């Protein structure tokens, strides 16, 4: 007698939170908020791999186009500052910060803010590069469920999620399209 085939439910369709044009508009609004609150001459953007890096570059490009100021962009590797190294094998990225962070106003750019643990690790890693004037956090999506007392200064969208939901940011640079999707558990 053949083994019965186990049937699993098909995955729930994605809820599109932002499509390409809506994401583009949101990025423009966030760039202007940054420009209004931080002196551009002392600003630098630090992206968290993977999608925070192209987001940081997009903000820098927008600020240069709108205000004529070249804002430096870097990326920070948090691998050895994580608190879960014993639970999973992380994939190291390279820290690329080719400017002096001392006295600068840094904006740490992340795609999705969830527990706060990634941001905590990024803050620890950034301190290895010097003492900035300030570090502010930009999250494209804040989905809640914080485990640490970390809040974003600039938020594109705040959404209610269940703990098991997944939020996926897709960018042209990494995924070929621009979108923010939520997969409900």
Q: What is the pLDDT of residue 12?
A: 76
How does DSSP assign 4-69, residue by residue? PPPP-PPPPPPEEEE-HHHHHHHHHHHHHHHHHHS-GGGEEEEEPTTTHHHHHHHHHHHHHHHH--
Within 10 Å of residue 80's Cβ, how many Cβ atoms? Answer: 12
Q: Is the peptide bond before 177 cis (omega within 30 degrees of 0)?
A: no
Q: What is the pLDDT of residue 9?
A: 58
Does position 74 have pLDDT exceeding 90, yes or no? yes
| Residues 117-149: b if buried by 16+ CB within 10 A, e if exposed | bbbbbbbebbeebeebeebbbbbbbbbeeeeee
Q: What is the pLDDT of residue 80?
A: 78
Q: What is the pLDDT of residue 75?
A: 97
How do residues 2-32 score in pLDDT, each as one tens digit?
Answer: 555 555 556 678 999 999 999 999 999 999 9
Q: What is the pLDDT of residue 53?
A: 97
Section 124-148 average pLDDT = 96
Which CATH topology does 19-79+99-183 take?
A: Rossmann fold (3.40.50)
User: Is the distance from CB of 123 to CB of 135 less than 8 angstroms?
Assistant: yes
- Whether pTM > 0.85 for this model: the answer is yes
How do residues 91-111 score in pLDDT, each as one tens digit?
Answer: 667 899 999 999 999 999 999
Does position 87 have pLDDT exceeding 70, yes or no? no
CB neighbour list of residue 51: distance below 8 Å, 6 or more residues apart: 111, 169, 171, 174
> Residue 83: helix, strand or coil by DSSP?
coil
For the chain, give the mean pLDDT: 92
Would you kindly state where each structural domain of the chain is located, as residue ranges?
19-79+99-183
Q: What is the pLDDT confidence band of residue 79, given thresholds at 50, 70 and 90?
A: confident
Q: What is the pLDDT of residue 81?
A: 80
How do residues 48-61 score in pLDDT, each as one tens digit?
Answer: 999 999 999 999 99
């Amino acid at each position: 007698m053949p083994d019965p085939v186990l049937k699993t439910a098909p995955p729930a369709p994605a809820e599109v939170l932002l499509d390409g044009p809506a994401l583009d508009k949101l990025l423009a609004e966030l760039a202007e908020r940054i420009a209004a609150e931080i002196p551009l001459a002392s600003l630098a953007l630090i992206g968290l791999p993977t999608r925070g890096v192209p987001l940081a570059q997009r903000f820098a490009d927008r600020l240069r186009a709108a205000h004529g100021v070249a804002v430096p962009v870097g990326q920070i590797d948090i691998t050895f500052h994580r608190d879960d190294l014993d639970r999973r094998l992380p994939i190291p990225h390279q820290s690329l910060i080719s400017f002096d962070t001392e006295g600068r106003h840094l904006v740490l750019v992340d795609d999705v803010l969830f527990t706060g643990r990634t941001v905590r690790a990024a803050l620890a890693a950034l301190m290895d590069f010097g003492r900035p004037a300030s570090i502010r956090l930009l999250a494209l999506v804040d989905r809640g469920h914080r485990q640490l007392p970390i809040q974003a200064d600039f938020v594109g969208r705040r959404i209610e999620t269940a703990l098991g939901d997944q939020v996926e940011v897709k960018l042209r640079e990494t995924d070929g399209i621009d979108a923010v999707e939520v997969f409900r558990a």
